[in-house]
Amino acid sequence: MPPLRLLPIALLLAALPARSQEYKSGINWPEPKVVTPGTHGGAPSDAIVLFDGKDLSAWKNGDKWIVADGVATAAKTGISTKESFGDCQLHIEWATPGKVEGKGQGRGNSGVYFMGRYELQVLDSFENPTYFDGQAGAIYKQFPPLVNASRKPGEWQAYDIIFTAPRFDSAGKLTSPAHITALHNGALIQNHAELKGGTFFDKPPSYAAHPPKGPIDLQYHGNPMRFRNIWVREIKPLVPAAK
């Protein structure tokens, strides 16, 4: 019998469950690769840099745009990555013209197209009403952004986008739709949104089978949109090793 003053502790210890056994999944995961993070939107060490301020050589039609002072300005036509991507993480910084011209879809319009088909809208949506599923951060004509995190005209803004490519079987039938998760200036605007198909101006969304990888396009919509610091990381699933 312990002294009376120790009794509460003895009771407490007796009430504790027996030491538990740690659960282990048994899955033989490889060690996640070490990646040196970038700073303030900078590219992690395993990123493919699509524009670092010097030139648009990673893009088809890149020579049609104007590159000066570390910034690429849209002109003449859209541009398209020479390399193709499937599931990926994209960081892109953009600024709408500081001098406000036009309204609605005519003001600061561009767009990030994955696989040439699925557009996350780029638009000057700072006090510039338009249809909600066409404002900045919308999956065009499918989902408005969860919030409007737009900065003022002329200010630099950032998108961080996680794109999951759709899958098709050998007969061309959709087996898994595309998904987009996106942050606009650090605010979540799309949360694993399931795309209903390609994003079109003049018809409902629909899927048509395409290769597992495709280019990333930046739209030219008549506005001198500026871009900088564009990088992409391919998403490669960790595959457990055989036991």
Least separation in angstroms between CB 74 and Mg ion: 11
Pick the closer one to Mg ion by CB: 61 or 234. Answer: 61
Pick the closer one to Mg ion by CB: 109 or 128. Answer: 109
Least separation in angstroms between CB 111 and Mg ion: 3
Q: Which residue's Cβ has the minimum distance to Mg ion?
A: 111
Which residue's entry shows tokens 């969304």? 205
Taking CB under 5 A as the binding criterion, the range among 30-38, 101-109, 143-151, 174-182 that sits at the site for Mg ion is 101-109
CA distances from 165 to 160, 168, 179, 214 (A): 16, 10, 7, 9
Which residue's entry shows tokens 């986008």? 161
d(CA 44, CA 119) in angstroms, rounded, equals 24
Q: Is 111 a binder of Mg ion (CB under 5 A)?
A: yes
d(CA 140, CA 145) in angstroms, rounded, equals 10
71-73/110-114 β-pairing: unpaired
How many residues belong to the site for Mg ion (CB under 5 A)?
4
Least separation in angstroms between CB 189 and Mg ion: 15
Pick the closer one to Mg ion by CB: 109 or 229. Answer: 109
The pattern of x and - marking residues 184 through 223 that bind Mg ion according to CB under 5 A reads: -----------------------------------x----
Pick the closer one to Mg ion by CB: 197 or 233. Answer: 197
Tell me which amino acid residue 2 is. P
Pick the closer one to Mg ion by CB: 43 or 112. Answer: 112
Q: Is 137 a binder of Mg ion (CB under 5 A)?
A: no
Phi, psi angle pair for 171, to nearest 5°: -90, 0
d(CA 67, CA 70) in angstroms, rounded, equals 7
| Cα–chain center distance at 45 | 18
The token pair at 54 is 């010097």
Least separation in angstroms between CB 83 and Mg ion: 22
The token pair at 205 is 């969304």
Pick the closer one to Mg ion by CB: 122 or 158. Answer: 122
Given the rule CB under 5 A, which residues bind Mg ion? 109, 111, 121, 219
